[in-house]
Each structure stands twice: as structure tokens, then as C-alpha cells.
Amino acid sequence: MENQQKSTLGHLEPWCVVMRMLRNLWMILLAAFIGVMAAAIVARTQFPDQYGARITFVVMSRSSTSVMQDSSAANSVAATFSELLGSDFMRRKILEYAGLDRFSGTIQAVNAEDTNLITVSVTAGTAREAFLVINAMAEHYTDLIQYLFSGAVLSVLTAPVNYTVSTLPMTKQRMELLGGLACASLVILFLFFDLLRDDTVQTVQAARDKLDARLLLSISHERRRCRPGKKHRPLLITEPTVSFAFSESVHRLRSRLEQEKAAEGTNIFLLTSVMEHEGKSTLAENLALSLAQKHGSVLLVDSDFRKKSRFCEKARGWKTQEYDYRDFKLCCAHVKSTNLYVLYSPVMLKDPSRLLASGRFARLLGQLKDSFNYVIVDTPPLELFADAEMLADLDAASLLVVRQDLVPAPVINDAIDTLRQRKAKFLGCVLNDVHVLLPSLLAPYGSDYGYNYSSYGKYGKYGSYASDEQAARSDSAQNKGAKE
């Protein structure tokens, strides 16, 4: 069966997209800062500020009898003034009065509508040039006016005022904002396409389309809860704070193992994963607890001997039995409250591969499986060590735990191929720790109390459960037909 497909938009879970952006928020903020700084540099180098100065004159006609005549005279003087200020003669006169050799700026005279006021504005590349030119006009305007309009009298209304003129087509703040948004958007697009390129499994549909194995179950994310001032409780179905949906998911996986045992007679089940932190050990312990609640004696085997077992601290006060060999020792502890037995190593082993390759551990499990209804083996990750492959040669059935948005689908398919090549029967995959953005937004109260009904579809999650059960019965019928 070839299900390998490239990621499409339909395979993306919005929660994973949001979390990818939040995890790389520092990149987005850094890009925004760089964009703001780049926009500020461009604004300063490509659009330098110009400096200006202005002065206001009052124009009165020498033969004035009314304000209207003064306004008319002002209009005439402003029009003539603006025209002549652009002439070489007038500019040379102004530069002579200002004491400048050259002037690359502009001089403009504007008459306020229906008034006898003229505002003369000067713009230049430096504030000094603008001030010298406008100051020369303020001090020598009487000499300049005689060349323009002999019938008008000018007097200074306001002293010269300096100001800054921006040549940007927009404000600096807006340009910096746009620069920051542009760079941040580019990084967001890069992260989005990088998420597509990673080709991880984010949704149930993506698991069905991309993985070369049957999807047995999807388990929604379960939030760790704690009382104020206390540590987080473990995610075990025996804890009262664990949600109903999470417990039912574990019980449903238990029913899959019960069906497999009834059909094939196998009572040893291996749980493995491709990488660390996929929730394999937590699922194995919960599955063992669920089986122990229904069937009595169940053995949970912690076979990751390279790490200190998590049961070393828990087993204090438990009744334990030791299996002592020449170079290693195993402990089997009995938890009376749950009727669960735990097999683990009290110390870390330097070379557990030698133990597994020798066959002694396999023989031990072969002896113990007759004493227990079920044996759940928590194996090390496949990508890190070969221990899981050696354990997969047991007369058992194996399951692969896949955490949402962690491992690329091609890597998972390689692990599936490895498990299929071993003696243990490969049952399929479990999609673990599935976050869904919309249900958590639409049903916040249900999420708080563990009943996230908005993610259950038409009949809740039990609708999909029923369809999966039908598929299981169909596969079982096909296998029986093939045997016959």
C-alpha cells in the first residue's frame, strides 16, 4: 500500500501552523526590527530631509483707500515676486545679500486668499542656507521690492521661522511600519512553506493519506491539570483529573488489542515510536492500566534500559521480585491498587543490545507471558537505537506511536517498513497528542473540563470509532477468508 503524498493545505492543522509561528516568534520579531531599521536607512539616504524658512509680509498700496485695494496689490506683488524670484538677476541679488556663492534651493512667494499677506518660503539642503537666504530677504526686502512693484509698500509681519520639509511620499513612521510588516510577512511565508516542506503528520486525514499503515486510533491532546500550589498530575487514566475523552481513547485502543489476542492468540504487544517525546511511554502505561482494570494481571515492561527507569522512584514500597543474571538485574514490582505488574531495570545498562541479542531477555518474556493475561512492552525509539528492532523479533504484535507534527512522514514510513520486516506482526499506527484549533476556540468550557464535544463530529468521536470498528471487523473477515 502506497499512501505517500506531499503535504497540501488540506493536510495542515491550523493549531500546528499557529504553534510553528509562536515557536519562531523571535525570528518574526527580528525580521520586523530589521525591516524597520532598513526602512529608516532608506528614508534617510534616499529621501533626505530638506530645510525651510519662511517670512510673512504685509502689502499695502501707496494709494490705498480700502483693504480690497491692498489685497489686489498683494496679489500683483505675489505673482510678480514668484516670477522674478526664479530669475538669475534676483537670485544673484539675494545671494549677494546672503553672502553665499551658490544656492540650489527654491524661493516661492504665496499670497493668502483675499488678504494682503504674502508668505515667502525658502527650501534648501541645509538649515544654514535656508536661514541666510530668508534673513537676507527680511533685512533687504526694501531694496528688492523696488525692482518688483513701485506702487506697493511691504512691511514684515512675522520674523523668519525655520522648519523641516520631508521629501518622503509618506510619513517616516508609516514607512518604517510598512518595512517591518513586509519583512515579518516574508519570514511568516518562509515558515509556512517550511512547514509544508517538513511533511509532518498533522491531521487524521494526513495520517491516512501519507502513512503506509493503518491508522488505529487518534488521541486528542490532554492538558495536564494541577491544583494550585501542587505539581502537575501524571496523565494516567487512574487520575480523577484526566478527561473522559482521553480515558475512552485508551479503552478503545485496549479493545483493539483484545480483538488481536482473540484472533491471533498474541498477548505480547510492543509500543514503539520513531523519536523521543512522542508520548509512547505514557500511552503504554495507560494501556496497561486499562487492561489491568478489566483482565487482572497485566505486565508492563520498561525495556529502555539505557535510561533510568521512571519506575525506580514509584516502586518504593511496592512488592518486588528480582531476576538476577550475571551482568544485569531486573525487578518486577506489583502495584496492588491497580493489579499491574512492572518489569524494569533498577540501573542503567551500558550495552543493552548485548542483552537483547543474547536472547535471554526474549526467553524471560517467553516465560512471563504465560503468567500474565497481557504483556505491554515499552521499547526505545527506532531512530535512536536498534533495541526496538531486536524486540520486534519476538512473537508479538507491534504498534507505532506517531505524535502530531513531530516526525516527517517519509521517516515514519521507513520505520513502518522496518517493523513489517520483523517477526512481530505490525498492527498499525496511533496518532497521538492531536491538537485541533477550532474546537478549542469554539468550546472553551468543554476544553476546560475535558469534554471537547465540538471535535466529536456528528455523533462525537464515537462516530469515527464506529467506522473504525467496522473497518477492523472487515479486515478480520478478509484475513479469515484468506486463511480458509
Tens of pLDDT, residues 217-241: 999 988 876 655 555 567 888 888 8
391 burial (CB, 10 Å; 0-12 / 13-18 / 19+) is buried
Evaluate whether 387 touches 349 at the Cβ level (below 8 Å): no
Taking residues 452-478, report their average pLDDT: 40
pLDDT digits (tens, 9 = 90+) for 348-375: 777 777 777 777 788 888 888 888 999 9
The neighbouring-strand residues paired with 107 are 122
pLDDT digits (tens, 9 = 90+) for 202-216: 999 999 999 999 999
Q: What is the pLDDT of residue 367?
A: 82
Strand 215-220 relative to strand 374-378: parallel, antiparallel, unpaired? unpaired
**Residue 360 grid cell:** 535471554
Q: Which residues, at least 6 apart from 6, have a Cβ–Cβ distance to it below 8 Å?
A: 199
Where in 244-289 does DSSP place strands (E)?
268-273
Q: What is the pLDDT of residue 11?
A: 87
Question: Which among 157, 163, 169 has a CA at the least distance from the CA of 117?
Answer: 157
Alpha carbons 453 and 139: distance in angstroms, whole number: 84
Higher pLDDT, residue 393 or 294: 294
Question: Which among 154, 162, 160, 145 has a CA at the least distance from the CA of 93?
Answer: 145
Split at pLDDT 50, 70, 90, the class of 250 is: very high
Taking residues 313-341, report their average pLDDT: 73
* Side chain identity, residue 446: G
User: Helix or strand or coil: residue 277?
Assistant: coil
| 92 backbone dihedrals φ, ψ, rounded to 5° | -65, -40
Split at pLDDT 50, 70, 90, the class of 54 is: confident
Buried b / exposed e along 225-245 (16+ C-beta atoms within 10 A): beeeeeeeeebbbbeebbbeb
Specify the range with the lowest mean pLDDT, choosing from 150-159, 337-346, 466-475: 466-475
480 burial (CB, 10 Å; 0-12 / 13-18 / 19+) is exposed
Alpha carbons 167 and 52: distance in angstroms, whole number: 12
Taking residues 120-149, report their average pLDDT: 77
pLDDT digits (tens, 9 = 90+) for 67-120: 455 667 667 766 666 666 666 777 777 788 888 887 778 888 777 776 777 788
Taking residues 337-356, report their average pLDDT: 80
Of the chain, the percentage scoring pLDDT greater than 90 comes to 29
**Which residue do the cell numbers 519662511 mark?**
54
Beta carbons within 10 angstroms of residue 60's beta carbon: 16
**Residue 129 grid cell:** 542656507
Specify the range with the lowest mean pLDDT, choosing from 308-312, 352-356, 444-448: 444-448
Q: What is the pLDDT of residue 255?
A: 93
Task: State the chain's mean pLDDT as an integer.
Answer: 78
Split at pLDDT 50, 70, 90, the class of 453 is: very low
Higher pLDDT, residue 259 or 140: 259
Q: What is the pLDDT of residue 144?
A: 64
pLDDT digits (tens, 9 = 90+) for 189-204: 999 999 888 889 999 9
User: Helix or strand or coil: residue 189?
Assistant: helix
Sign of CA dihedral 68, 70, 74, 76: positive
Split at pLDDT 50, 70, 90, the class of 444 is: very low
pLDDT digits (tens, 9 = 90+) for 381-434: 888 777 778 888 788 899 999 999 999 999 999 999 999 988 889 999 999 999
Q: What is the pLDDT of residue 9?
A: 78
Range ranked top by mean pLDDT from 2-11, 246-255, 345-354: 246-255
Higher pLDDT, residue 110 or 249: 249
Alpha carbons 341 and 343: distance in angstroms, whole number: 7
Query: What Rg, from alpha-carbon coordinates, does the chain have?
Result: 41
